[in-house]
Amino acid sequence: MGQVHGLVTRGNSHGGGPGHDRGWVKRQDMGPREIISPTMAYTGEYTVLFGSPPTVSGTAGQSWRWDGKLWTQRQNMGPTARAWYNIAYDSQRDRVVLFGGQVFPPSDASLSDTWELAIIKQNV
């Protein structure tokens, strides 16, 4: 499974008050569905999620954006569906970088390709 970069959450059963977590809060009913092998990267403004639809190999993966309120599907073009890949945010170049993985559904065929997704700043 891929790594999650920049997303930290935990629940707390101790009630609350300033600085205390209040546990999970449902934010939205609509969003990514049926994504296999999801991985996320935080850009400093929003979270990017990439995952594979549960379909045959060779189809495009799914890219989504979470801004803290809404999920927006970014594109269905780009990296093919895959498992066992990693993504990270490159803050020097404002890019989410995806590397490698295995052909989906998981097989012995490894991928060594690199993909970049340009980040468009909202508060410029």
Give long-range contacts, CB 8 A cutoff, 24+ apart: 5-11: 5/40, 5/41, 5/42, 5/87, 5/88, 5/89, 6/40, 6/41, 6/42, 6/47, 6/89, 7/40, 7/42, 7/47
Residue 91 lies in a domain: yes
Domain-embedded: residue 27:
no
Instruction: Examine residue 8 and state whether it is found in any structural domain, yes or no.
Output: no
The pair of three-digit structure tokens given for residue 94, joined into one six-digit string = 């404002």
**Is pLDDT at 111 greater than 90 in this prediction?**
yes
pLDDT tens digit string along 53-101?
877 666 788 899 999 999 999 876 789 888 899 999 999 999 999 999 9
Q: How many domains does one find in the chain?
A: 1
Q: Does 90 map to a domain? A: yes
Domain span holding position 110:
36-118
Query: Global pTM?
Result: 0.74
